[in-house]
Amino acid sequence: MTLPHCHPHHWPKGISEGRYASRIRMDPEGCAIGMVGMADDEGVRLNNGRVGAMSGPQAFRDALAKYGVSQLESSDLPFMWDLGDVQSGMNLLDTHKRVSETVSVVLEKGLFPVGVGGGHDLSLPFIRTVAATHGPMTVIYFDAHLDVRESPGSGMAFRKLVEDAAATELHLFGYNPLSNSREHLQYFRGHRGYIHDLSEFDPALWKDSPNVAVSLDLDVLDAAFAPGVSALNPCGLIPSQLAAPLRSLGRDPRTRCFDIMELNPLHDQESRTAKVAAHLFLCFLCGFAERGA
């Protein structure tokens, strides 16, 4: 299936049936998930971050192709349609428009949208498009940063979602108080933003929310585990801390979309961050497979 503004994806050849990637499809028939590669990092450049995340979606595919899943029978995990990578537009707004158009195709097919990026600003069109279908979102995000900047760039997504009425609440896990300004914290708290320690994770915190969007910025992780990100975190979370929360969110039928952002293979070491991203995606997917069980 040919899509406007999308580069074809590239998966390694000869993937065995025992690996999840054998369940990736070139068209939507029989699939429950639609994955959109958001291969752009202009927002990172505008935010003075380390560029390279435009190559994140392909690095994610390369890592995912090597994962097998024995925790569940592979037949229980959903098939996923890979739509390829959205091409960068002439500017940030043009790229955002292209992301929106591509995510709309996923929703029109009745599939669950997964995004892989790419600058975290791309969560704005990704989540906003889902909200246009399902209604305003409670956003659960794992990030060292608030990302409520007013200026265009990778740190703007959640402020703009609030201003566009696409998000009604923000719940942040992994916050680093030494990497955020007082002004941004005041804005966040003044617009139904809540900061939680990961030990407090409990879906009851947003029990009245009918629609949930989940966003994972890989810079929430400690640099020892995730060196391949746009902004290194010297004192972040460890990947195993996120496994259970992501599985829980995948299981929750209120969760309408999931994205994994800021994977930067240009600065990765031995694909360490890409492997973590693929692992955490599969944690979420195992939860998704349990819906209705």
Cα(12)–Cα(14) distance, integer angstroms: 7
User: What are the structure tokens assigned to 239, written together?
Assistant: 């990947």
Q: Please tell me whether the overall predicted TM-score, pTM, comes out greater than 0.85 for this model.
A: yes
**What structural domains and CATH numbers belong to the chain?**
6-135+212-289 (3.40.800.10)
Secondary structure class of 99 (helix, strand, coil):
helix
Output the CA–CA distances (angstroms, integers) from residue 273 to 260, 265, 269, in the order listed: 11, 8, 8
Tens digit of each residue's pLDDT (9 = 90 or more) over 220-262: 999 999 999 999 999 999 999 999 999 999 999 999 999 999 9
Could you report the per-residue pLDDT of 149-204, keeping only the tens digit for each? 999 999 999 999 999 999 999 999 999 999 999 999 999 999 999 999 999 999 99
Distance CA 282, CA 164 (A): 31
